[in-house]
């Protein structure tokens, strides 16, 4: 994500006990379905909600900043973290590791703050094993053809990469029934409003 969001835990000046435990929102979508844009809009709407920044062993790409887009760490540090149970979920993709800090999630949720994760279906399964109360939301494109058009319009991927992304999208969309909520992103403003409504209902 291009915008940095503070990860300071909110504190209650009159009590160390939060009014309620924090809520964990787990957002998944195929590449090109608009998940990052929707997630940014939600974070703008809920300024106290945190965004979990993932850790990775891959090198930063041009324009990426440590602690903003990812936390970039050495492979030895990551694998040591696996052995110590540091990651709430992790995966190895194209020879690079990616993971979510369990310590951050525990600290934020126990402190009564809400947090949103942007992860794939595999990561969602791992997260729910540790946090079964997590609220899962899947963002769907209206069709694969629409998704293809969006990917082609970005102009960042070769036809071979687009074909792979579409194949992966089909596999991910086939698992949408694993999610508590499914949002079809046909009109972006409507999809954002629908997700905000889901979060408001869960928080009420």
Whole-number Å distance between alpha carbons of 57 and 10:
29
191 confidence band (pLDDT: 50, 70, 90): very high
pLDDT digits (tens, 9 = 90+) for 88-147: 999 988 789 999 999 999 999 999 999 999 999 999 999 999 999 999 999 999 999 999
Mean pLDDT of the chain: 89
pTM of the model: 0.84
Q: Higher model confidence: residue 69 or residue 106? A: 106
62 confidence band (pLDDT: 50, 70, 90): confident
Q: At 136, which CATH number?
A: 3.40.50.300
pLDDT digits (tens, 9 = 90+) for 1-29: 433 333 444 444 344 667 788 999 999 99
Yes or no: say if 104 and 52 are a contact pair by the CB < 8 Å rule: yes
Work out how many domains the chain is built from and give that number. 1
Yes or no: say if 172 and 28 are a contact pair by the CB < 8 Å rule: yes
Yes or no: say if 67 and 53 are a contact pair by the CB < 8 Å rule: yes
* 3-state class (DSSP) for residue 151: helix
Q: What is the pLDDT of residue 16?
A: 60
The verdict on residue 5 lying in a domain is no
Residue 195 has pLDDT above 50, yes or no: yes
185 confidence band (pLDDT: 50, 70, 90): very high
The verdict on residue 141 lying in a domain is yes
The verdict on residue 14 lying in a domain is no
The verdict on residue 10 lying in a domain is no
pLDDT digits (tens, 9 = 90+) for 19-59: 788 999 999 999 889 898 999 999 999 999 999 999 999 99
**Residue 172 CA to its chain's centroid (Å):** 15
Q: What percent of the chain has pLDDT over 70?
A: 92
The verdict on residue 77 lying in a domain is yes
The verdict on residue 13 lying in a domain is no
Burial class of residue 6, CB neighbours in 10 A (0-12, 13-18, 19+): exposed
Residue 198 has pLDDT above 70, yes or no: yes
Residue 180 has pLDDT above 90, yes or no: yes
Yes or no: say if 146 and 30 are a contact pair by the CB < 8 Å rule: no
The verdict on residue 16 lying in a domain is no
The verdict on residue 6 lying in a domain is no
**Residue numbers of the domain that contains 132:** 24-203
Q: What is the pLDDT of residue 93?
A: 82
Helix (H) / strand (E) containing 108:
helix 102-110
Q: What is the pLDDT of residue 7?
A: 44
């Amino acid at each position: 994500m291009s915008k940095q969001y503070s990860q300071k835990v909110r504190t209650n000046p009159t009590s160390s006990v939060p009014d309620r435990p924090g809520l964990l929102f787990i957002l998944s979508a195929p590449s090109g379905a608009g998940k990052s844009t929707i997630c940014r809009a939600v974070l703008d709407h809920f300024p106290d909600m945190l965004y979990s920044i993932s850790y990775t062993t891959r090198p930063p790409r041009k324009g990426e900043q440590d602690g903003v887009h990812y936390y970039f760490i050495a492979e030895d540090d990551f694998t040591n973290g696996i052995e110590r149970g540091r990651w709430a979920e992790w995966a190895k993709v194209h020879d690079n590791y990616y993971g979510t800090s369990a310590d951050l999630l525990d600290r934020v949720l126990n402190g009564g703050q809400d947090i949103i994760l942007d992860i794939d279906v595999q990561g969602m399964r791992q997260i729910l094993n540790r946090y079964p109360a997590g609220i899962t939301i899947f963002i769907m494109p209206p069709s694969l053809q629409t998704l293809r058009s969006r990917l082609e319009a970005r102009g960042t991927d070769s036809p071979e990469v687009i074909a792979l992304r579409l194949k992966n999208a089909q596999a991910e969309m086939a698992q949408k029934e694993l999610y508590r909520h499914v949002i079809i992103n046909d009109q972006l403003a409507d999809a954002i409003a629908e997700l905000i409504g889901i979060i408001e209902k869960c928080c009420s």
